[in-house]
Amino acid sequence: MRLYLLGEVSWQRSQLIYHALARLGREGLVLLWPAEPYVCLGFHQDLTQELDLEFCRRRGLPVFRREVGGGTVYLDREQVFWQVVLRRDNPLIPFSHQAFYRRFLGPVARAYQRAGLMAELHGINDLAAEGGKVCGTGAGEIADCVAFVGNLMRDFDCDTMCRVLRLPDERFRRRLAGLMEQNLTHLRGTLGPEALKRWNHQRLAGLLAQEFARLLGPLQPAEVDPELEDQMRRLERRMLDPSWVHFPRKPRPGRRAVKVRAGLYLHHRRLGEAMPGLRAIFTVEDGRLRGLEFYGAAGLDGQTLAPLAAGLEGAARPELAPRLAELARQKLLPAGLTPGKLARGLSF
């Protein structure tokens, strides 16, 4: 298995390298960090629905669409990337998605643990420590290979992450920022700023190489040779072309959801069908509605709708309609707000 320990590279190369390896059918482990910050879209995401493009333009943040899944992420040099490329017939690849993530996140968890952060698997494809998510991951098939990519976070800029996203309003943005601060962590946040001096990029990359070698077998140091360089140049022409980056997806009007960590999503709903101007923000944690907040309807403030929101606290999706029917019987729904329309609007 080849080891491409590339260190600091341009933001373009930080994504193109594993795509090029997969196109060439080469297996390998890539370890690097980007010299410049940028935004990376998942393969299935819509640029205009996901990003505040004006903010990205003002900040000079380029945008890349990768060929693996996962969500939008803000990336910078405080994150050490690992990128594993395996041929699809490699016997290390288990049949189930859950087993895949459990196996290939094991080396990352052990690297964190050796650095002093007690990370462990949370959900199917997240690592968590001290109650917070500590890495983002993405996986997918590229040509005849499977690519598994992610980041070990020395530090993370939650504020910029919240700003690059296209969000319904500032109320939603503030709620998201608070949730990210509470539910994301990193070496600086848990171990303090001195940890960043002790665990520099090179040491963390070394930990990752050692731990992945326990899974992948002996790693042979490799350089970017002319064939690989040529493949990256060809991919750069295609993957930085606006037609690839801006590939549209089906819109979902009136709805926005952002994953914070495994099992926790923040939702926004426009409920104009139920009542003109009405909006709602809520989280869904492990399949249950939490922290519902109504606002925006003329003549109704949050206090008036607070008993309705409280009555839906903790509801699973199948419980929304019966709970709303009961709240209507208790006359806790304002005039004109029907249980059926509200249940459809809040469905998650």
CA distance 291 to 266: 10
**Cα–chain-centroid distance for residue 137?**
7
CA 70 to chain centre: 6
**Which domains does the chain show, CATH number per domain?**
2-239 (3.30.930.10), 255-346 (3.30.390)
Q: Tens-of-pLDDT digits for all 348 residues of the chain? A: 999 999 999 999 999 999 999 999 999 999 999 999 999 999 999 999 999 999 999 999 999 999 998 889 999 999 999 999 999 999 999 999 999 999 999 999 999 999 999 999 988 888 999 889 999 899 999 999 999 999 999 999 999 999 999 999 999 999 999 999 999 999 999 999 999 999 999 999 999 999 999 999 999 999 999 999 999 999 999 999 999 999 888 877 789 999 999 899 999 999 999 999 999 999 999 999 999 999 999 888 778 899 999 999 999 999 999 999 999 999 999 888 999 999 999 999
Which secondary structure element, helix H or strand E, spans residue 252, and what is its range? none
- In Å, what is the CA distance from 205 to each residue of 17, 30, 31, 58, 213? 16, 10, 6, 32, 12
CA atoms within 13 A on the CB side of 101: 18
Instruction: Report which secondary-structure segment, H or E, holds 320.
Output: helix 320-329
What torsion, rounded to 10 degrees, do the Cα atoms 64, 154, 126, 190 define?
-150
Parallel/antiparallel/unpaired status of strands 2-9 and 220-221:
parallel
The pairing of beta strand 288-295 with beta strand 137-142: unpaired
What tokens appear for 147 in the block? Answer: 């690519």
Tally helices (H) and strands (E) across the chain: 14, 16
Q: How far is the C-alpha of 209 from the C-alpha of 31, rounded, in Å?
A: 8
Measured distance between the N- and C-terminal CA atoms of the chain, rounded to whole angstroms: 43
User: Strand ranges (DSSP E) for 250-300?
Assistant: 255-261, 264-270, 279-285, 288-295
Residue 148, exposed/middle/buried by CB under 10 A (0-12, 13-18, 19+)?
A: buried
CA dist., res. 135 & res. 109, Å (int): 10
